[in-house]
Amino acid sequence: MGYARKVGWVTAGLVIGAGACYCIYRLARGRRQSKEKMAEGGSADVDDAGDCSGARYNDWSDDDDDSNDSKSIVWYPPWARIGTEAGTRARARARARATRARRAVQKRASPNSDDTVLSPQELQKVLCLVEMSEKPYILEAALIALGNNAAYAFNRDIIRDLGGLPIVAKILNTRDPIVKEKALIVLNNLSVNAENQRRLKIYMNQVCDDTITSRLNSSVQLAGLRLLTNMTVTNEYQHILANSISDFFRLFLAGNEETKLQVLKLLLNLAENPAMTRELLRAQVPSALGSLFNKKENKEVILKLMIVLENINDNFKWEENEPAQNHFSGGSLFFFLKEFQVCADKVLGIESHHDFLVKVKVGKFAAKLTERMFPKSQE
């Protein structure tokens, strides 16, 4: 009896191990297919949107990055300290709970199918899980499934027609950062669609507030910035963010390199729209913004910031708007541009900068800006 019992336990362990491996394989394959699909469709176009032009930034989520997912999918309780026996058991329970949640979502959605692309009936079941469940690990698994399927253009219409937009947007009220991030990723993928953008615009203020007030450089903040970037690919809804431009500049200055680049993508979308030029020039910018032009700052950050400033300068008719220049208050981007030549010479040291491209780019812009603001006829 003792020998038979041992054999039984070994057999059960092999079965459970095989099931867990299969679940991990399914999840990995779904992400890989989603990544391939996003690589095919990640251009600057919006589905059925005709006014997307130029090098607008249409940002896909980075949820398909395996190194990030492996860290964020399984939530470990704070007492699961690595290196302790109790922590090892707690982490094992957390992994098992997440695995069961993913398996339950897949089983409820598609019990007899091995496809990672869900049918409308299966998507409806997943949406029901999102709407009815209160368990974070169930919500997380269901949102990951929705995010992977929302990467396909034909599924964006289906999820909308099933009433999925308000169901997912409601999750934004959660305090769980992992669940909120997954909800933002789903909305980000769904927003690459003109009709979806029209319906999602009512959530832009909430997303904007959450993004600005979230923990600096957090995954939630980056996911919010990506969604706002997608929502500003076209000019139609950019005015909703007009009162938050100053906050974006403060976030740009305080954030790390990844946050800076993501904010710049959003600002570049706004700067390409002539209708937003006044709002951008009116925005209050930190006095330390000029300190970014130094030899230690990332080259890509400086060059993208220069593109933003060039677009604003090109869209603003300085001579025609001379009477209105008094309407810009001190500390605004307008006055920052007026002092840019001094700022560049003092902080950057154009002639001695080690990067030739940065030196040329900043030098040409400073000369162009001086010529536009102070034409020779006024000298």
Per-residue pLDDT, 67: 37
- The whole-number average pLDDT for the span 187-209 is 97
User: Looking at the predicted structure, is the pLDDT value of residue 167 above 50?
Assistant: yes
Question: Residue 341 domain-assigned?
Answer: yes
Distance between CA atoms of 281 and 106, rounded to whole angstroms? Answer: 50
SS (H, E, C) 164-224: HHHHHHHHHHCCCHHHHHHHHHHHHHHCCEHHHHHHHHHHHHHHHHHHHHCCCCCHHHHHH
Residue 283 or 341, more confident: 283
Instruction: Give the tens place of pLDDT for each residue, 80-107.
Output: 445 566 667 776 776 777 666 666 665 5
Per-residue pLDDT, 51: 39
Are 312 and 271 a contacting pair, CB within 8 Å? yes
Instruction: Give the tens place of pLDDT for each residue, 203-212.
Output: 999 999 999 9
Question: Residue 31 domain-assigned?
Answer: no
Question: Residue 119 domain-assigned?
Answer: yes
State the residue range of the domain holding 132.
115-200
Per-residue pLDDT, 41: 35
- Residues ≥6 apart with Cβ < 8 Å to 263: 225, 248, 251, 252, 255
Question: Residue 159 domain-assigned?
Answer: yes
Are 240 and 234 a contacting pair, CB within 8 Å? no
CATH of the domain at 173: 1.25.10.10
SS (H, E, C) 214-250: CCCCCHHHHHHHHHHHHHCCCCCCHHHHHHHHHHHHH
SS3 284: strand
- Whole-model pTM: value is 0.72
Per-residue pLDDT, 103: 64
Distances in Å between the alpha carbon of 268 and those of 74, 225, 261, 262, 318? Answer: 35, 13, 10, 10, 20
Instruction: Say whether both 282 and 196 belong to one domain.
Output: no
Indicate the number of domains in the chain. 2
Residue 126 or 342, more confident: 126
- Residues ≥6 apart with Cβ < 8 Å to 213: none
Structure tokens at 379: 């000298």
Residue 328 or 57, more confident: 328
Among the candidates 159, 185, 200, a domain finishes at 200
Per-residue pLDDT, 363: 77
Structure tokens at 288: 């330390």
Instruction: Say whether both 192 and 280 belong to one domain.
Output: no
Strand partners, 332: 284
Per-residue pLDDT, 62: 38
Question: Residue 256 domain-assigned?
Answer: no
CA 218 to chain centre: 11
Among the candidates 184, 200, 216, a domain finishes at 200
Residue 116 or 275, more confident: 275
Report CA torsion sign: 357, 259, 255, 66: negative
Residue type, 3: Y
Instruction: Give the tens place of pLDDT for each residue, 10-58.
Output: 444 444 444 434 443 443 344 444 433 333 333 345 655 433 444 565 6
Mean pLDDT (the chain) is: 76
Per-residue pLDDT, 323: 59
Question: Residue 343 domain-assigned?
Answer: yes
Question: Residue 270 domain-assigned?
Answer: no
Band (325; pLDDT cuts 50, 70, 90): low
- Distinct helix (H) and strand (E) counts, the chain: 18, 0
Instruction: Give the tens place of pLDDT for each residue, 270-288.
Output: 999 999 999 999 999 998 8
- The whole-number average pLDDT for the span 301-330 is 81
Backbone angles phi, psi at 37, to 5 degrees: -65, -40
Distance between CA atoms of 231 and 237, rounded to whole angstroms? Answer: 7
Among the candidates 166, 200, 234, a domain finishes at 200
**Mean pLDDT lowest among 172-176, 252-256, 329-333, 341-345:** 341-345
- The whole-number average pLDDT for the span 241-248 is 97
Band (377; pLDDT cuts 50, 70, 90): very low
